[in-house]
Amino acid sequence: MSRARHSGGFRRRGALQVWQGRFGPNMTPMVDVVLVILIFFMAGTSLINPEWFLKTESLKRGRAPGETDPFELSPVWLTVDLSVGPDGQAVYTGVGAASQPIGSFAQRIADFAKGTPTGKIFVVVNPAPDVPYNAVIAIHEACAAAGIERVGIGK
């Protein structure tokens, strides 16, 4: 048996000889970490939905940034003041009316919105402290029915 060892046959190598025969760093842990990170980012991108992004308006074609159209209408700001009338009902003042009941506001704002692009109309509702909340909701719903989306509460 010792003769086979010395006559060119294979000999067993010990752990020390195997270790000394290696060169370079062990790449297995690095590959494992990179794959875990890759899986993490792949799973994370599936959570991004369109509603997570901010909405922005893009520039119109043919116009340099900061250049305005001289024929473009300026925004229209309407102020609607709400108060409680002598009979205890909510009344509004604004849009060419003084102390009118809330029920007539829907027709008045719809008539006003016919002549103006609704994207350029801003309505600010200023309720008095004693005005019921459903009156504010009625003004907001009337504006939405007329196509006006930019409605805010002041004061």
Domain ranges of the chain: 2-6+11-45, 76-153
Of residues 3 and 143, the one with the higher pLDDT is 143
Q: In what order do the strands lie in the sheet with 150-153?
A: 97-101, 90-94, 76-84, 121-127, 150-153
pTM over 0.75: no
Residue found under tokens 């799973």:
43
Residues 14-26 have a mean pLDDT of 75
In DSSP terms, 76 is beta-bridged to 121
Average pLDDT value over all residues in the chain: 78
Residues 51-59 have a mean pLDDT of 51
Residues 83, 131: contact at Cβ < 8 Å? yes
Residues 60, 53: contact at Cβ < 8 Å? no
Distance CA(87)–CA(89), nearest Å, equals 6
Confidence at residue 87, expressed as pLDDT on a 0 to 100 scale:
87
Residues 4-22 have a mean pLDDT of 70
| 23 pLDDT above the threshold of 50 | yes
Distance CA(77)–CA(65), nearest Å, equals 25
Distance CA(131)–CA(83), nearest Å, equals 6
- 76-153 belongs to CATH 3.30.420.270: yes
53: pLDDT confidence band, cut at 50, 70 and 90? low
Distance CA(143)–CA(13), nearest Å, equals 88
Buried b (16+ CB within 10 A) or exposed e, 30-42: eeeeeeeeeeeee
| 85 pLDDT above the threshold of 60 | yes
Confidence at residue 66, expressed as pLDDT on a 0 to 100 scale:
65
